Amino acid sequence: MKLTTLLLALLTALAQPALPVRAATPAAPVEPAKNDDATWQSIETFRKNLAKRSPFTAGFVQTYLPEGFSTGEKESGRMALHLPDCLRWDYGEPYPKSFILCGNVIHYWNGGETEGHVEEIEAKREPGLDLLLVSVDELKRRYTATSKRSAQGVAITLRPTEKSELVSEATLEIDAKLDRLVALRYVDPEGNRTEFAMSDYQAGVKTGTFNPPKDVKWLDEY
């Protein structure tokens, strides 16, 4: 799994089935797409509300859809978030793996293995993380944003203003209270799609959640 997949996943929070199932539900009327101050205000309000909600945990299901396919592989697990510094993702079977990101340092390892990797990144430059870590003015320079509103909330589509090798488009569906993201879908330049669904939100995290395990030997990737 690409590191950017993990970082984009930071913005996921869905308590409904994944997109292919939801598509069968009649869509509510929506307003035409807009690229205006209200779109960016929705993003800013959501960021503030997410910070107030953290720390929290939630279960997730990730679906990867190769270009041209309507179904794909699924993985599931649980995530923990404590803004502004820390994120953890734990994937379950059949390919257990974990990621812990705090500040600019990420630890990642596969379940059952005695060695893992530690790497330093520029968090504010990573797609997904930058949506929470840099100012809205800076985000406006990095992305165009259009939005559609319905009774259920607002759907915001972001496109990089400069060509990206990793992401061509990301759509975030935020609930009517601008309190949580209810869907995330993004597309890479080859047309492959990644979708996330999350549920079972729980407030707070266990002590030590963001500490890398001591029984793993960490290989420095700096």
Please tell me the distance from the alpha carbon of residue 20 to that of residue 23, in angstroms, as a whole number.
Answer: 5
Percentage of the chain modeled with pLDDT above 70: 84
pLDDT for the residue numbered 23: 36
In a domain? residue 171: yes
pLDDT for the residue numbered 10: 47
In a domain? residue 212: no
Q: Two tokens at 58?
A: 């939630």
Residue 86's domain spans which residues?
Answer: 29-202
Q: Which residue has the higher pLDDT, 11 or 115?
A: 115
In a domain? residue 10: no
pLDDT for the residue numbered 175: 83
Domain count, the chain: 1
pTM reported for the whole predicted model? 0.77
Of 22-31, 55-64, 120-129, 196-205, give the lowest mean pLDDT range.
Answer: 22-31
Q: How confident is the model at residue 34 (pLDDT cuts 50, 70, 90)?
A: low
Statement: residue 178 has pLDDT above 80: yes
Q: How confident is the model at residue 146 (pLDDT cuts 50, 70, 90)?
A: very high
Structure-derived torsion over alpha carbons of residues 180, 205, 19, 49, reported in degrees to the nearest 10? 10
In a domain? residue 18: no
Statement: residue 13 has pLDDT above 70: no
In a domain? residue 214: no
CA–chain centroid gap for 133, Å, is 13
DSSP 123: G
In a domain? residue 163: yes
In a domain? residue 167: yes
Q: How confident is the model at residue 12 (pLDDT cuts 50, 70, 90)?
A: very low
Q: What is the 3-state secondary structure (H, E, C) of 4-20?
A: HHHHHHCCCCCCCCCHH
CATH of the domain at 38: 2.50.20.10
pLDDT for the residue numbered 120: 92
CA nearest neighbour of 156 among 191, 182, 120, 190? 182
Place of tokens 């800076």: 138
In a domain? residue 76: yes
Q: Quick one: which H or E segment has residue 133? A: helix 130-133
Q: Two tokens at 37?
A: 């101050």
DSSP 138: H
Q: What's the rounded mean pLDDT across residues 106-132?
A: 87
